[in-house]
């Protein structure tokens, strides 16, 4: 199913780890279970999900891609250059990106854990005396700090993401209710229709339900493509909701 959307040339076609340059596969981040055997990841669909248990390296891999693309390690658009804390890994130095023939007009790297820092930087820039419209106008017009975490996330998706963009998101569901995650799905679909590409690290089975998306699972075996129904996230959520009492008895040893 393509839901009536015509394919378009992707902005990022694949990433390659320059293994011959890696100093050691026994040190972070190259010692991570999914990074250690990693060679190349190809992108074939407008929406790609990277999933896996905590600690497998999905956020580290996405961060490396985003920095290699040109985004600020803490998030934002390509013109964000602030630094709160240099905690990102060196993975980006060892990644080669193969870009498509078309260049995106827009782009954003959204990571849940440091979005507060992006919002703070926007506040600081808007408080300066520089002429022109305020940056917050591109995010819905209200201060991101005067909204709930979920509202500020959602307004970024709805207002700042404009189409024909390269969008990388790290666990965007962190601040969103299930209903708001479905709103995000609908907005993603609109933006894919406007020639946008998404690469998303997530734990959310709701987001992973996006039709025709590629899902890459990171685990002790490395990285492999899976169907939604094969992910632990889907299996565990479905099992829990279908037989909640039995699952709780098992968890509580009753």
Kindly state whether residue 139 falls inside one of the protein's structural domains: no
Kindly state whether residue 142 falls inside one of the protein's structural domains: no
Q: Interior CA angle at 95 toward 93 and 99, to 5°?
A: 125
Kindly state whether residue 83 falls inside one of the protein's structural domains: yes
Kindly state whether residue 173 falls inside one of the protein's structural domains: yes
pLDDT in tens, 206-243: 999 999 999 999 988 889 999 999 999 999 999 999 99
Q: Which pLDDT belongs to residue 219?
A: 86
Average pLDDT, the chain: 85
Kindly state whether residue 216 falls inside one of the protein's structural domains: yes
Buried b (16+ CB within 10 A) or exposed e, 59-83: bbbbbbbbbbbebbbbbbbeebeee
How far is residue 217's CA from residue 224's CA, in Å, rounded to a whole number? 5
pLDDT in tens, 15-66: 999 999 999 999 999 999 889 999 999 999 999 999 998 888 899 999 999 9
Q: Interior CA angle at 109 toward 108 and 115, to 5°?
A: 110
Kindly state whether residue 241 falls inside one of the protein's structural domains: yes
Q: What value does the CA radius of gyration of the chain take, rounded to a whole number of Å?
A: 19
Kindly state whether residue 74 falls inside one of the protein's structural domains: yes
% pLDDT > 70, the chain = 79
Kindly state whether residue 106 falls inside one of the protein's structural domains: yes
- Give residue 186's domain range: 12-114+163-252
Q: Which pLDDT belongs to residue 118?
A: 60
Q: Give residue for tokens 């917050």.
A: 136
Give CA 206 to chain center in angstroms.
14
pLDDT in tens, 64-90: 999 999 998 877 878 765 556 656 789
Q: Take residue 185 and report the two structure tokens written for it.
A: 């799905």
Count of domains forming the chain: 1
CATH code for position 110: 3.40.50
Do the bridges between strand 12-17 and strand 40-42 make them parallel or antiparallel, or are there none, so unpaired?
antiparallel
Among 43, 35, 36, smallest CA distance to 9 is for 43
Residue-by-residue DSSP string for 138-187: GGTSS-GGGS-HHHHHHHIIIII--SSEEEEEESGGGG--HHHHHHHHHH
How far is residue 94's CA from residue 254's CA, in Å, rounded to a whole number? 50
How far CA 134 is from CA of 52, 80, 93, 138, 141, in Å, comes to 38, 15, 34, 8, 8
Position 140 confidence tier, pLDDT thresholds 50, 70, 90:
low
Question: Is residue 114 pLDDT above 60, yes or no?
Answer: no
């Amino acid at each position: 199913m393509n839901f009536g959307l015509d394919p378009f040339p992707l902005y990022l076609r694949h990433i390659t780890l320059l293994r011959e340059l890696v100093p050691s596969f026994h040190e972070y981040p190259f010692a991570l279970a999914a990074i250690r055997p990693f060679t190349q990841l190809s992108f074939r669909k407008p929406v790609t999900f990277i999933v896996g248990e905590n600690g497998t390296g999905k956020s580290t891999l996405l961060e490396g891609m985003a920095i290699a693309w040109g985004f600020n390690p803490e998030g934002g658009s390509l013109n964000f250059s602030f630094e709160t804390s240099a905690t990102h890994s060196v993975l980006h130095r060892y990644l080669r990106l193969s870009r498509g023939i078309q260049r995106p007009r827009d782009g954003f790297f959204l990571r849940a854990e440091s979005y507060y820092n992006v919002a703070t930087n926007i506040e600081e820039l808007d408080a300066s005396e520089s002429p022109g419209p305020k940056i917050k106008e591109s995010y819905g017009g209200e201060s991101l700090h005067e909204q709930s975490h979920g509202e500020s996330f959602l307004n970024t998706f709805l207002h700042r993401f404009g189409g024909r963009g390269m969008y990388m998101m790290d666990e965007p569901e962190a601040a969103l209710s299930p209903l708001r995650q479905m709103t995000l799905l609908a907005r993603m679909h609109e933006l894919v229709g406007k020639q946008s590409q998404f690469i998303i690290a997530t734990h959310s089975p709701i987001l992973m339900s996006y039709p025709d998306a590629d899902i890459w699972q990171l685990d002790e075996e490395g990285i492999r493509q899976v169907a939604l129904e094969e992910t632990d996230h889907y299996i565990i959520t479905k099992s829990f909701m279908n037989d909640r009492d039995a699952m709780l008895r098992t968890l509580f040893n009753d």
